[in-house]
Amino acid sequence: MLPLAGFTVVFGLAFGVAAINHGMAGWEAMLMSAFMFAAPSQFAVLELWQSPLPLLAMATTTLAIHTRHILMSAALHPWLYTLPKRQRFAVIGLLTDSNWAMSLSAYQRGERNVGVLLGGGLALWAAWVIGTGMGLVWGEGIAEPRRYGLDVIMLCFLLVMVIGAGLRNSLYVPWLAAAVSAMLAYWYLPPYLHVMVGALTGGLVAVVQRPSSASGDR
């Protein structure tokens, strides 16, 4: 997680700078990074940051962006369900795309150490909070990570981790359905809904085809 933590610091720095530019107080930005710990939602909330706060719009946007966590946490259920609830929710509170992919890959290799998920989440959380603080203190930095391609680093890592672990035959169709539906939603629906549409479509297709494909999984 250390290389990714370095990129996370950069993203946190960019958020700190953007928060200042959108009129957010420094303590508000730090609390958001510490307790929300969700880069896409935090940047989206900045676009809605005004007085009075549009709380319903913020909640809806956040839900749309992070619908994927429903499926991500469900994928980890066989690993975590034996833990006491307080430990289970504490670990899931640090769930990100990156430590989820690493943990799922480790689980598929036969590892059963939940510390992979917890430690990775703590490393990324610390990097995000530190980066936010750096952005607030310096007031300048990489405010537009897209310019340098940094916005796709974690997405590439996620893709490599998931595909590198080996896809079962039954997962190709759900992946394709999720990708196509997400792209259509991105083009034709309001912002951020493509995340929800892709996640739900892929999950639904996987459930529907499961009985017929279970015997052919490898």
Average pLDDT over residues 23-48: 88
Q: Over the stretch 179-196, which tens digit does the pLDDT of each residue have?
A: 899 899 889 887 767 777
Which tokens belong to 12?
A: 């946190």
| Global confidence as pTM | 0.70
Residues 152 and 66 in one domain: yes
Residues 158 and 207 in one domain: no
Per-residue burial over 52-75, b if 16 or more Cβ lie within 10 Å, else e, is eeeeeebeebbebbbbbbeebeee
Residues 154 and 180 in one domain: no
Final residue of a domain: which of 146, 165, 184? 165
| Of 58, 33, 212, 198, residue with least CA distance to 124 | 33
| Of 141, 152, 126, 147, residue with least CA distance to 10 | 141
Residues 23 and 33 in one domain: yes
Q: Give the C-alpha distances (Å, rounded to integers) separating 6 from 131, 134, 192.
A: 9, 13, 26
Average pLDDT over residues 202-211: 80
DSSP state at residue 146: G
Final residue of a domain: which of 141, 165, 189? 165
Residues 12 and 117 in one domain: yes
Residue 155 has pLDDT above 70, yes or no: no
Residues 43 and 123 in one domain: yes
Total count of domains within the chain: 2
pLDDT at 38: 87
pLDDT at 218: 46
Residues 212 and 122 in one domain: no
Residues 106 and 171 in one domain: no
C-alpha–C-alpha distance, residues 32 and 55, integer Å: 15
Range of the domain at 34: 2-165
C-alpha–C-alpha distance, residues 66 and 196, integer Å: 8
- The more confident residue out of 57 and 144 is 57
Residues 30 and 90 in one domain: yes
Residues 123 and 80 in one domain: yes
Q: Over the stretch 62-91, which tens digit does the pLDDT of each residue have?
A: 887 787 788 888 888 888 888 888 888 888
- As a whole number, the mean pLDDT across the chain is 80
The amino acid that residue 196 corresponds to is M
Residue 95 has pLDDT above 80, yes or no: yes
Average pLDDT over residues 17-24: 85
